[in-house]
Structure 1
C-alpha cells in the first residue's frame, strides 16, 4: 500500500500523481466519539501536550509529523479508519486560524468534513463551515452556543462538547497573538516538497479494498487510541529524536507505525490481547530506557529528586538517556534504541529465541532456561515491569548486544557467553541496588568474553565460570558433561559441588541426572546420608543445618550452589562417593535408578543394624517421617557438634520455615508416628512456638518426649485416672521412677550411640499405652 506525504489542506488538492482524489472527509459509524476534548485528567494532560506541539509547529518552520492517516476511499469520500481524532483536531484548528486570519471561505474544499456517527455532529461541522469565529471577547464555545444557528440537540452530543473544549483550548494558546494569524495560515497552506514536508504533515494511505481496510483498521489501531500514554510518549520520542538526531527522525516516524508495529502486532495476535499494541510498546520502551539508564551507570536519572524518590515520567527519562547534551552516552543509547526495534524487522523473533533457548532439557544446541518461556522478547512485551525477572532482562539485553555486534562475534562465542550469563544470573539478583553493575558486567562478558571486573555478581560463581572455561579448553571432551550438569534444575548452571576430574565427569553427570529426578528426590537425600553428613551450616552458630527437601528444589540448590568451590567439600565428597557407587552398579547391569539407590541404602542400613549402631544418619536415612518434605530442609539441634558426629537425639527438630516462628516437628517422634501408622491414636507431632512438645496420645493426653537416652512419659495432672495404667506399661519397659524409658546405648569413643532402634521402641511403647 503506497503512502502520500501531505497536509490537512493538501488532502483536498486535485491529485497530480496516482493518488486518488478526495472531495470530502466523513468520520464513519465504526469510529467512536471525538474524545480529545474530554475533561478528565488524563485527556486534559494529553490534549494539552498535543495542542502545544501542533501550535508550536504552526507558528514556526520546524514542522511536525503525525504519522499515518489512512482510510477507505470511495467516490472521493475518505472514511478514516485511523486518524479520526487527529483529523478532527486539525479541522478545528484550521477553522479557528482561518476565521482569525479572515480567510475562511465556505466553499473551500477542506470544509467538507462531517461525521456519520451522529447527525448532530454532522450538522454542527457544516454550520462551522459557514460561520467564521470573529475573535471577540467571548471564547469560541461561548460565542458558538450563543448563536441563533446553535441547535438545542447539539448540547447532548459528546462529540460537539469535546469540539468546543478543543476550540477553547486553541483560543487560549493564541491569546494576544492577533497579528500572527495571517502568517500562520500561510504556513498551513504550504504543500509538502522534497525539502520540506509542511508545517503539520502526515502520510496518507488510501485503502480501496474495504475487507482489507477493516483488517488493517484492527492492525493499525493496535497502536492504540490517541488518548493513551503511548501516543503521548511516542510524540515526545519523535520530538526528542528529531532534535537530537534529525537524520534518523524520518526512519523513526515511518517505523513506529509501520515495521515496528508489525513486529509487536504479531505478538498481539498470538496472545489474543486487547487488539492494541500500546501496552507492548510501552513495556518494551521502558525496558530500553531502563537498560540505557543502567548502562550509563547513572540510575539516579530515574528519580525526580533524591528526597521524594519519585520516578520521572518515562518520556523525560527517555530524553535524558537519548538526547541530554550532558549525557556522553546519548548517541550510543540512540543506536541501541533503534537497534532494539530494527533487529526484529523482517524476522520471526520467536523463532530466533527458540533457536537460542529452550525450556527444560534439550538435545540440540539451544540453551535451557529455568523459566516458563524461551521467547524473551514476547515475555518482555507481556510481562516487563511485573513478572519479567532480572535474569530475563539481562539475557534479552545480551541477545540484543550480540545481534548488534554482528559478525564480530561467532556463533560459538555467543552460545558460550550466553550460557555463562545464564549460569551466574540463575539466582536472586538485587535489581534495585546492583542493576547498573549487572548490565555493565553483562556487556563486558558478551562483547569481550572476559570475567575480569564482573561487578555485582557473586565472586565465587564468576570464578567458577572462569575455571570451567579453562577446563573445557583443556579438556573439550568434558564439555557435554559440564553442560548436562549445568542444565540440571538443582544446579542451574553452578556446579561447584562437582569434582571436575575429566575421567569421571561424564559418568557422574549421567548419574546425577538420574538420581536427582524429582520422583527420586526423597530417596536420593536418604541415600546420600549413607555417604556422610552432608548438612549445610545455615545459622545460629551451626545449630541450624540444611538437608535436601523432597519437595522443594531450593533446598538442594542452596546445598549444591551456595559458596565457593573449596567450601563445598561437605557435600561434594559424599555426593561424588554416591555417584561413583551408583555408576558402578548401573554399569554392571544393576536395575533402574530407584532400585539402585534402594540397594545402596539398604546395604548401608543392614551394616549398621548388624553392629547395632543407630545414630541420627541411620534414623533419617531409614525413616521417611524423620526427613524434611516441606520447607527448606532446615533442622535444628541445640547440641549439634560435627566433631562428636553431628546431631544428638534430643530436640532434633524439623523446621518447616526458617525458625520456631513457623511450625516444626520433632524428627524422631515424627518418624515413629509415620512408621507406626499412629495417626488415629496420636496427634501429629507438629507444633508452633512450644518449648518442649511431645507425642500426645489422643485418648489420655499422655505425652512422650524424646530424650538423649530414651523417652520420658508424662501423665497430665488432670488425668490421675490413667497414672496406674501408664505405670504398669512403663514397668514392662524397665522405666525409671521419673517415667524415663531407656534406650540401649553404647559408647563409640566419642559419645553415646543407640544400640537399639529407638523408633521401633517408641512405636511399641505407644501401642501398649493405647492398648491398656
Structure 2
C-alpha cells in the first residue's frame, strides 16, 4: 500500500462527475447554514461571489476515501455542501437543470440522516420554479430589515417537502444557506460557466479503509451518535440482514430506486423507497413524534419508548412463562433503565412480525398534526392516553393489554371498520377492567395477553364468537368473567333492546363493563333474565354510584342503611372495611363483582329503595334498626364512629372475642386506634354534654386501654367482662365496673 498522496486541482463539477459524494454518518451535520454563523457564511459567500466576478478562488484541501466509486470526505464536507447548493441555485435560476445535470447533482448525498439524503434528491428532481418564488414579509429579530427567505419558504411549501424535515439540522442549515445564496447571487446573470473559477485541491486516501474510529481521531468534528441514532442504525441493519434476508449480492436496487429484498421464505419482494424503515422514521413517523418533543425539541426518548412498549408485547407473547428469568426480563423491559440493542436481541424481542406490526401501526396512527385516532370517543380505550403511556414508558399491565388489542387491530386491517373495532375493544375493555385489580404479576398479564392473541382472529365477529365459542375454562381470565361476557353476548344478539340496555349501563364510568350483579339480580322466578328488572336495577345503580364510586351520602347514610340490612363488610387481612371506591379487596367494585352473601345484602337494600325517595328510604331503614345487642347497632346509629375509621374505613374484629372491636385510624393496630364500645359511649355522651374530641385517648397498641377522660375519671370498656369500667389516674389495676351501659350513662351525666 502506498501512502504517497498527490493532489488534484478540481472544480466541484469535475469531482462529482468522477465520483459520487456521500457525507458519512460519522460526520457532523451541515453547519455553515446554522444560526449564529452569519459572519462565516457572509465571508465565504463573498469570496465565492468574487470568484464568479472573475477572480479565481482556490479553496483548501478536500480529501477522503473512495469505495465503489463513492467518495466519503474526511475533510471538506462543509465546503462541498455549500458548492452543491450554489450549483443547484444557479442551475435553476439560469434554467440549466436538465436531465443530464440532474443525474450529476443527485450523486451528492448525505448518509447522516435519511431525511437529508432524500431532501437533496427531491431538491434536484422535483425542486421549484425560480420564477414563482413566494413573497414574504418576515423580518429579522431586530426588525431592522426584511428577512429575505422567499427561496426557503417556496421550498418548504412545496408538495414534496415533509414538514418533519424542518427538524433535520442539516436541512435547516441548507435552507438558511440557500436564502443567503439567493441574496448574494440574485442580481448576477449568466454565471453558470464562471463557477469553474472555484476550485480546490482534492486528495484521495487510497486503500486506507477508514474506520469510524479513524474518522473520529482524524476529524475533531466527528460527532458521537445518540442512543436513538445508534438504535435506528442497528435496527435498520437488522431489518436488512435478518428480517429481510439478503442474497449474496446484497439488496438489488432497481433503476427507479425500488429495492428487491428476499423474504423469510426466500421469495422476492419489492420495497418502494418511500416504504422503507429509513424513509418512514425520518419523515411520516417523525411528523407524529415531533408533536411530543421535549423542551429541547428532541423526541428520541419518546420514539425509543414506543419501540420498547411493542417489544414488551412481543417478548411476552413468545416467552416461556415457566422460565425463572421471565419476570425479571419483563421487569427490565418495562423499567426505567436503558435497554441496549443487544439486550433486545438476546431476549428475542425482534422478528418479522414485530417489525411488520410496528410499521403498520405507525403508518396508521402517524399524522403531521399529531396522533391519528379511529374511535369517536374514549369509552373503550383512550387512544391518546394509550399512545402517551407508550412513549413515556409508564403503562401498567391493564393498559398494555389494551394497547396490544388496539394496535394489533390497526396493524392487521387495511380499512378500519369502526363498528368492528368498537365491538372488539368493548370486549377487551370489559375483560380487562373486570380483572384490573389483579394485574399485579407478570404471569397474570401474560395469560391475558395470550388469551387476546388467540381471540384476535375473531375480531370481526367478536360478539357472535364469544356467545358460541368462548370457553370459560380457558386460561387468561377467571371463569366468571368470561361467563358474564358470554351471557351478555347472548342477550345482545337476542334483541336491540337488550343491546341498548346492556351497553348503556356497561358504560357507566364506575361499573366500566362490570354488570354481572345486575344480570344476576334481574332473573325472574324461572331463572330467565327479565329486561324490565334489569333496567330497574340499572337505574338504581346509576342513582347510587357516581363516576368515581359510591355517591356522597351525608353521615354515611348509605353505608349505615346497608349495614342495617345485613353484614356487608369485606375483609382485608385481619381488618374489615365499610368499603371505599378503589381498592382491590375492600372496594365497592369488589362487592359488586363477587357473587356471594355479601352482594345479596346490597340487592336486599336495592329492593327496599326507590329512586325518587332514596334518602327517605335510607333514613327509615336506619331508624328502624333497634337491636341494641347487635354489634352493628352503634355503627348504624352514630355516623361519627365510621368517620374515625380512617381513609379505608377499617375496623378490627377479634375472632376469639366478638365484643373486642377496634376502630383503626390506619391499616394496623400499631397506628392510633379507638375501641368501639367506649367510643360509642363517648359519642352518645358528647351529644348530651358537648365533650371535646380530645378527651378520648386512642392508643398505638392493643395492650393499652382506650378510654376517655370525664371529671377526673378514665372510662373504658372491658371486652373480656363486657362491662364499662372506670378508674382514676389511669390505675387500671384498680378499675371499677358500671353495672351496664345505661347505668354508666346515668351516673356520668349526673357528675
What TM-score comes out, normalization by structure 1 length? Answer: 0.59
2:578·2:649 contact (CA, 8 Å) conserved in 1?
A: yes
Report 1:100-115 matches (<5 A).
112=79
Counterpart of 2:664 in structure 1 is 655
1:238·1:249 contact (CA, 8 Å) conserved in 2?
A: no
Once the two structures are TM-superposed, the CA of residue 421 in structure 1 deviates from its matched residue by: 1.9
SS of the aligned residue for 1:688 comes to: coil
Query: Alpha carbons of 1:302 and 1:353: their partners in 2 closer, same or farther (altered >3 Å)?
Result: farther
Does 1:241 pair with 2:275? no
Deviations 1:200-238 (A, max 9, x none): 986152687457999967633699996321111111111
Counterpart of 2:32 in structure 1 is 27
SS of the aligned residue for 2:365 comes to: coil
Aligned with 2:705 (options 693, 709, 715): 693
Counterpart of 1:505 in structure 2 is 534
SS of the aligned residue for 1:652 comes to: strand
Query: Alpha carbons of 1:200 and 1:304: their partners in 2 closer, same or farther (altered >3 Å)?
Result: farther
Deviations 1:168-193 (A, max 9, x none): xxxxxxxxxxxxxxxxxxxxxx9978
Once the two structures are TM-superposed, the CA of residue 652 in structure 1 deviates from its matched residue by: 1.9
Aligned with 1:664 (options 654, 673, 678): 673
Counterpart of 1:569 in structure 2 is 597
Does 1:705 pair with 2:717? yes
Once the two structures are TM-superposed, the CA of residue 500 in structure 1 deviates from its matched residue by: 4.7
Using the alignment, how far apart are the partners of 1:210 and 1:582 within structure 2?
72
Once the two structures are TM-superposed, the CA of residue 286 in structure 1 deviates from its matched residue by: 0.4
Counterpart of 1:284 in structure 2 is 306
Aligned with 1:391 (options 395, 398, 412): 398
Counterpart of 1:545 in structure 2 is 576
Once the two structures are TM-superposed, the CA of residue 481 in structure 1 deviates from its matched residue by: 3.9
Query: Alpha carbons of 1:474 and 1:659: their partners in 2 closer, same or farther (altered >3 Å)?
Result: farther
Does 1:430 pair with 2:440? yes
Report 1:434-453 matches (<5 A).
434-448=444-458, 449=462, 450=466, 451-452=470-471
Counterpart of 2:552 in structure 1 is 519
Counterpart of 1:459 in structure 2 is 479
Once the two structures are TM-superposed, the CA of residue 380 in structure 1 deviates from its matched residue by: 1.9
Counterpart of 1:296 in structure 2 is 318
Does 1:367 pair with 2:380? yes
Query: Alpha carbons of 1:765 and 1:538: their partners in 2 closer, same or farther (altered >3 Å)?
Result: farther
SS of the aligned residue for 1:435 comes to: helix
SS of the aligned residue for 2:586 comes to: helix
SS of the aligned residue for 1:355 comes to: coil
SS of the aligned residue for 2:292 comes to: helix
Aligned with 2:738 (options 734, 737, 740): 740
Once the two structures are TM-superposed, the CA of residue 255 in structure 1 deviates from its matched residue by: 0.7
Q: CA RMSD in A?
A: 5.3
Once the two structures are TM-superposed, the CA of residue 355 in structure 1 deviates from its matched residue by: 2.0
Deviations 1:548-584 (A, max 9, x none): 2489797334542554x3xx2322x22222223323x
SS of the aligned residue for 1:421 comes to: helix
Once the two structures are TM-superposed, the CA of residue 533 in structure 1 deviates from its matched residue by: 1.8
Once the two structures are TM-superposed, the CA of residue 742 in structure 1 deviates from its matched residue by: 0.5
Using the alignment, how far apart are the partners of 1:266 and 1:689 within structure 2?
56
Query: Alpha carbons of 1:374 and 1:193: their partners in 2 closer, same or farther (altered >3 Å)?
Result: closer
Deviations 1:485-531 (A, max 9, x none): 43445534323333252321112112112112332383222222232
Once the two structures are TM-superposed, the CA of residue 765 in structure 1 deviates from its matched residue by: 5.8
Does 1:261 pair with 2:286? yes
SS of the aligned residue for 1:375 comes to: helix
Report 1:118-133 matches (<5 A).
none
2:707·2:715 contact (CA, 8 Å) conserved in 1?
A: yes
Using the alignment, how far apart are the partners of 2:349 and 2:47 within structure 1?
42
Using the alignment, how far apart are the partners of 1:492 and 1:217 within structure 2?
43
Using the alignment, how far apart are the partners of 2:683 and 2:47 within structure 1?
82
Bigger Cα displacement from structure 2, 618-627 vs 672-681: 672-681
Deviations 1:701-723 (A, max 9, x none): 61322648864223145679xx9
Aligned with 1:339 (options 360, 363, 366): 360
Query: Alpha carbons of 1:623 and 1:226: their partners in 2 closer, same or farther (altered >3 Å)?
Result: farther
Once the two structures are TM-superposed, the CA of residue 441 in structure 1 deviates from its matched residue by: 1.5
1:637·1:651 contact (CA, 8 Å) conserved in 2?
A: yes
Does 1:274 pair with 2:296? yes
Using the alignment, how far apart are the partners of 2:428 and 2:299 within structure 1?
30
SS of the aligned residue for 1:205 comes to: helix
Once the two structures are TM-superposed, the CA of residue 343 in structure 1 deviates from its matched residue by: 1.3
1:710·1:740 contact (CA, 8 Å) conserved in 2?
A: no
Using the alignment, how far apart are the partners of 1:304 and 1:11 within structure 2?
58
1:354·1:374 contact (CA, 8 Å) conserved in 2?
A: no
Once the two structures are TM-superposed, the CA of residue 111 in structure 1 deviates from its matched residue by: 7.7
Deviations 1:101-129 (A, max 9, x none): 9x9999x98683699xxxxxxxxxxxxxx
Counterpart of 2:489 in structure 1 is 469
Gaps (5+ residues) in structure 2?
Answer: 1-9, 18-22, 24-28, 49-59, 83-103, 124-148, 157-162, 173-222, 245-260, 262-269, 523-530
Query: Alpha carbons of 1:308 and 1:275: their partners in 2 closer, same or farther (altered >3 Å)?
Result: closer
Using the alignment, how far apart are the partners of 2:171 and 2:649 within structure 1?
50
2:582·2:588 contact (CA, 8 Å) conserved in 1?
A: no
What TM-score comes out, normalization by structure 2 length? Answer: 0.60
1:701·1:715 contact (CA, 8 Å) conserved in 2?
A: yes
Using the alignment, how far apart are the partners of 1:252 and 1:531 within structure 2?
64
1:322·1:331 contact (CA, 8 Å) conserved in 2?
A: no
Does 1:632 pair with 2:613? no
Query: Alpha carbons of 1:400 and 1:661: their partners in 2 closer, same or farther (altered >3 Å)?
Result: same
Counterpart of 2:587 in structure 1 is 556
Report 1:146-185 matches (<5 A).
none
Once the two structures are TM-superposed, the CA of residue 616 in structure 1 deviates from its matched residue by: 2.8
1:636·1:653 contact (CA, 8 Å) conserved in 2?
A: yes
Using the alignment, how far apart are the partners of 2:676 and 2:11 within structure 1?
85
Once the two structures are TM-superposed, the CA of residue 538 in structure 1 deviates from its matched residue by: 4.5
Using the alignment, how far apart are the partners of 1:192 and 1:578 within structure 2?
80
Aligned with 1:205 (options 116, 119, 122): 119
1:293·1:299 contact (CA, 8 Å) conserved in 2?
A: no
Gaps (5+ residues) in structure 1?
Answer: 1-8, 17-21, 33-70, 79-90, 116-189, 325-329, 358-365, 591-595, 641-646, 724-736, 745-760
Once the two structures are TM-superposed, the CA of residue 766 in structure 1 deviates from its matched residue by: 5.3
Using the alignment, how far apart are the partners of 1:322 and 1:290 within structure 2?
11
Using the alignment, how far apart are the partners of 1:199 and 1:681 within structure 2?
73
2:31·2:170 contact (CA, 8 Å) conserved in 1?
A: no
1:240·1:323 contact (CA, 8 Å) conserved in 2?
A: no
SS of the aligned residue for 2:395 comes to: coil
Query: Alpha carbons of 1:355 and 1:320: their partners in 2 closer, same or farther (altered >3 Å)?
Result: farther
Once the two structures are TM-superposed, the CA of residue 410 in structure 1 deviates from its matched residue by: 5.0
Counterpart of 1:578 in structure 2 is 605
Query: Alpha carbons of 1:490 and 1:614: their partners in 2 closer, same or farther (altered >3 Å)?
Result: farther
Using the alignment, how far apart are the partners of 2:702 and 2:332 within structure 1?
45
Query: Alpha carbons of 1:198 and 1:433: their partners in 2 closer, same or farther (altered >3 Å)?
Result: closer
Does 1:621 pair with 2:648? no
Once the two structures are TM-superposed, the CA of residue 696 in structure 1 deviates from its matched residue by: 2.4
Once the two structures are TM-superposed, the CA of residue 240 in structure 1 deviates from its matched residue by: 0.7
Using the alignment, how far apart are the partners of 2:13 and 2:225 within structure 1?
27
Query: Alpha carbons of 1:555 and 1:111: their partners in 2 closer, same or farther (altered >3 Å)?
Result: closer
